[in-house]
Amino acid sequence: MKCFFITGLEGFVGGHLGEYLINNGYNVGGTIFGPENEFIGKFKKDLYLCECDICDKNKIQRIISEFKPDFLIHLAAVSYIPFSWKEPVKTYQINLNGSISVLEALKNSSPKTKMIFISSCNVYG
């Protein structure tokens, strides 16, 4: 059985993707940044769920090391344009440094994991 790990599981795309994968028999884990929302509550019992800031290199490394996914789908990012204008440094830290933390964790803990990076036009602010 293939294992998928989704960063940004609490988002619209992450939540729907997680639900789809679970409904199709895959093992699914993922990170959420804050408290879980009610959408995740619908399938929480079937998840390996971790509250984690992807900028926390040690924590994301530990989580990936424990789960050892076959695929990591990276969705965690700041995509709200007004926030990116108001907090450009924080946005940069999350979107770039957080992504680097995820990549380093894969390299160090699960190098055979395939990473799928999904983005949008919102990254241009």
Look at the chain and report how many structural domains it folds into: 1
Write the CATH number for 106.
3.40.50.720
Q: How does pLDDT run across 108-123, given as a tens digit for each residue?
A: 999 999 999 987 666 5
CA distance 40 to 59: 21
DSSP per position, 51-86: E--TT-HHHHHHHHHHH--SEEEE--S---HHHHHH
Q: How does pLDDT run across 52-75, given as a tens digit for each residue?
A: 999 999 999 999 999 999 999 999
pLDDT band at 3 (very low <50, low <70, confident <90, very high): very high
Please give the pLDDT value at position 18: 92
CA distance 2 to 69: 8
Please give the pLDDT value at position 21: 95
Share of the chain above pLDDT 90, in %: 62
Give me the domain span that covers residue 84: 3-124
Please give the pLDDT value at position 42: 72
